[in-house]
Chain A
């Protein structure tokens, strides 16, 4: 079961220079919310920003990670 720390670390590793805050919405280890601030988001649409974060987890979204709610922004 993924932990908030693990998700945070994976996002920050995959998006160099980013800062991520991850909370477990239900305490069940499968519904998360992440706020991600990353320089590389500049000039990207919201859809593209979210896709970028979802791509970090690939097929795990909808699998072990049932839900990952996102808020993204450049600086």
Chain B
């Protein structure tokens, strides 16, 4: 048996899911404002992602932070790499970098993700190359 099954399971989840969010609560019911804001940014881009609730067992959070060298929750990983927590993800959403990192189109409405549905955003041509 492995010596640290929780850490190994976390590492496996990070490796297996191209986009994975470790958060407090679930995307449907976030238990912390920072997790909620991160979910809102991902949802605003329509990004598919796996989500892991760290609350059921304090060891999840402890082992996750040991892997990522990052002390807080949420933590977003893309292709096995830590992208950041709420501040970085929100900032990257606003600049369009998050869409780029996820290989998605930035929605025309780029206001801070509030969870509110943007009303029929106008289509604007965009060429970032």
The winner among B85, B86, B91 for most chain A CB atoms within 10 A is: B85
Alpha-carbon separation in the docked complex, A61 to B86 (Å):
15
Chain A's interface size range is: 10 to 19
The B60-90 residues at the A interface (CB cut-off 8 A) are 61, 65, 69-72, 82-88
**B82 partner, pick from A47, A67, A70, A71, beta carbons under 8 A:** A47
CB distance B82 to A69 under 8 Å? no
CB distance A50 to B86 under 8 Å? no
**Interface check B34, CB cutoff 8 A:** yes
By a CB distance below 8 angstroms, the chain B residues around A51 are 69-70
**Interface check A46, CB cutoff 8 A:** yes
Q: How far is the CB of B55 from chain A (nearest CB, A)?
A: 13
> How many A-B residue contacts, CB cutoff 8 Å?
32
Closest 10 CB pairs of A and B: A61-B71, A54-B71, A46-B88, A70-B87, A69-B87, A62-B71, A47-B84, A61-B72, A62-B72, A51-B69
Alpha-carbon separation in the docked complex, A48 to B75 (Å):
14
By a CB distance below 8 angstroms, the chain B residues around A50 are 84-85, 87-88
By a CB distance below 8 angstroms, the chain A residues around B85 are 50
Alpha-carbon separation in the docked complex, A50 to B69 (Å):
11
Alpha-carbon separation in the docked complex, A61 to B72 (Å):
7
The residue of chain B having its C-beta at the shortest distance from the C-beta of A33 within the complex is B87
Alpha-carbon separation in the docked complex, A61 to B84 (Å):
16
The A19-62 residues at the B interface (CB cut-off 8 A) are 46-47, 50-51, 54, 61-62
